[in-house]
Amino acid sequence: MRTQVAIIGAGPAGLTLGRLLETAGIDAVIIEQRSADYVLGRIRAGVLEQSSVDLLRRMGVNQRMDAEGIVHDGVELSFDGDMLRIDFNELIGRRVMVYGQTEVTRDLMDARIASGAKSIYEASDVQIHDFAGETPRVSFTKDGQTHQINCDFVAGCDGFHGVSRASVPDQAISVFERVYPFGWLGVLVDQPPVAEELIYAHHERGFALCSMRSHSRSRYYVQVGATEKAQDWSDEMFWDELRARLNPDIAERLKTGPSIEKSIAPLRSFVAEPLRFGRLFLTGDAAHIVPPTGAKGLNMAIHDVTELATALNEFYGERSKAGIDAYSGKVLENTWRTERFSWWMTQLLHTFPDSGDFGRRIQRADFDYLGASRIAQQSLAENYTGFRP
């Protein structure tokens, strides 16, 4: 089999890249190790920056998003119950769209099926060969048979645990990492959200987040220790802990019910450098991880593959290598800017076991500064809604 671009992974990064290349008339095959149902079973954050919304619209995968997504003008922050609303629209004239990542993935998958573009699911033992040269290959096993795809480029869109980054020799790549000593215990519930906007709450018992998937389905999180297990948390324990971390009036309004999903996600900041190795490119979670505070993971992945699609388009259209040569530098600039913001929101809002009373006073000072300074609020708004220089 032959294609121009072999895309490893059918998460949001791989599917978005597939759609962009298809629109540009560049042939691509997606190779995914899991089944489509498995991919759609993963529950992740759900806040889209305006630029992500615009891209989904340009790609023509916006029908359901525009019908079901909820536009938010701002977010609420809470510090030991004291509330502060950050009104993005009033501060900088921008908004975000709340629409689940799972739904974005489903829309992209449906569009790919409708267009007949090739995807191979349940491919095992995926291997990338000869990407240092001009003629890379991808091999994999499917239904007991080994297959090979010859291509011009390989796009590593296979997430943090994928084969793409792992295929790069150790001496060719540097990684920068911070693992946080806690995770987020998340619960999905068929109840209306407690508030119209998201609430990010700091409390001495730990962080909490009130989010939503629709007007009748809510998503809540509480910070828990890194070694805790979701099965040790009954629904009752979860709701009690969440209420304890919120402003009392909000806690009273909280509508609870049986959880329809409950899981723990660890928190990590991670960046690989560089992001291009000959004819192999890293994108999305294969290239970097942010903690979910700020909901940047999907938006970063969309940013990366937009850059990559532009670079590949330039290569095929104009026979220019300028775009692919600039890819790594451009994406890393956005990556580090977004890493800084996600790290900052994380350190403002969580309880850190080792930072003591001094650390908590600094967090309070940070929150009070935000409350007092319009410029500080604009900075938060600019980063949360997606800063593009």
Residue 33 within binding range of ligand APR, rule CB under 6 A:
yes
When CB distances are held under 5 to 8 angstroms depending on the partner's kind, the choice from ligand PHB, ligand APR, none that residue 163 binds is ligand APR
Q: How far apart are alpha carbons 320 and 311 in whole angstroms?
A: 9
Closest among 388, 387, 350, 354 to 366, alpha carbons compared: 350
Q: How far apart are alpha carbons 322 and 280 in whole angstroms?
A: 16
Residues 323-382 that bind ligand APR (CB under 6 A): none
Amino acid residing at 48? L
Residues 12, 72, 220, 288: which is the catalytic one?
72
Backbone angles phi, psi at 169, to 5 degrees: -60, 140
Span near ligand APR by CB under 6 A; candidates 39-47, 175-183, 214-222, 366-374: 39-47
**Residue 320: CB minimum distance to ligand APR, A:** 26
User: Is the torsion defined by CA of 255, 257, 261, 264 positive or negative?
Assistant: positive
Instruction: Name, in order, each residue with C-beta under 8 angstroms of 22's C-beta and a sequence gap of 6 or more.
Output: 28, 112, 115, 117
Dump the DSSP string for 254-322. Answer: -----EEEEEEEEEEEEEEE-SEETTEEE-GGGTEE--STT--HHHHHHHHHHHHHHHHHHHHHH---H
Dump the DSSP string for 115-143. Answer: HT--EE-S-EEEEEE-TTSSS-EEEEEET
327 tagged catalytic: no
- Print the SS3 string covering 73-97: CEEEEEECCEEEEEEHHHHHCCCEE
Q: How far apart are alpha carbons 220 and 189 in whole angstroms?
A: 8
221-255 in b/e burial notation, b at 16+ Cβ within 10 A?
A: bbbbeeeeebeebeeeebbebbbebbbeebbeebe
Span near ligand PHB by CB under 6 A; candidates 27-35, 241-249, 290-298, 319-327: 290-298
200 tagged catalytic: yes
Residues 84-113 that bind ligand APR (CB under 6 A): 101
When CB distances are held under 5 to 8 angstroms depending on the partner's kind, the choice from ligand APR, ligand PHB, none that residue 199 binds is none
Residue 292 within binding range of ligand PHB, rule CB under 6 A:
yes
Span near ligand APR by CB under 6 A; candidates 38-46, 192-200, 228-236, 256-264: 38-46
Nearer to ligand PHB by Cβ, of 17 and 295: the residue is: 295
72 tagged catalytic: yes
Residues 99, 180, 200, 327: which is the catalytic one?
200
User: Could you give the string, one character per residue 173-202, with x where binding to ligand APR holds by CB under 6 A and - elsewhere?
Assistant: ------------------------------
Please select the residue that binds ligand PHB; options are 18, 46, 136, 206, rule is CB under 6 A.
46
**Residue 294: CB minimum distance to ligand PHB, A:** 5
Nearer to ligand PHB by Cβ, of 184 and 277: the residue is: 184
Q: How far apart are alpha carbons 299 and 52 in whole angstroms?
A: 6
How many CB atoms are located within 10 Å of the residue 53 CB?
Answer: 22
Residue 45 within binding range of ligand PHB, rule CB under 6 A:
yes
Token pair recorded at residue 255: 């509508």
When CB distances are held under 5 to 8 angstroms depending on the partner's kind, the choice from ligand PHB, ligand APR, none that residue 293 binds is ligand PHB
136 tagged catalytic: no
Q: How far apart are alpha carbons 127 and 154 in whole angstroms?
A: 11
142 tagged catalytic: no
Span near ligand APR by CB under 6 A; candidates 68-76, 158-166, 356-364, 375-383: 158-166
Nearer to ligand PHB by Cβ, of 9 and 292: the residue is: 292
Residue 126 within binding range of ligand APR, rule CB under 6 A:
yes
What amino acid positions are annotated as catalytic residues?
A: 72, 200, 292, 296, 384
Task: Name the residues that contact ligand APR, by CB under 6 A.
Answer: 8-14, 31-34, 39, 44-45, 101, 126, 157-159, 161-163, 284-286, 297-298, 301
Residues that bind ligand PHB (CB under 6 A): 45-47, 198, 211, 219, 292-295
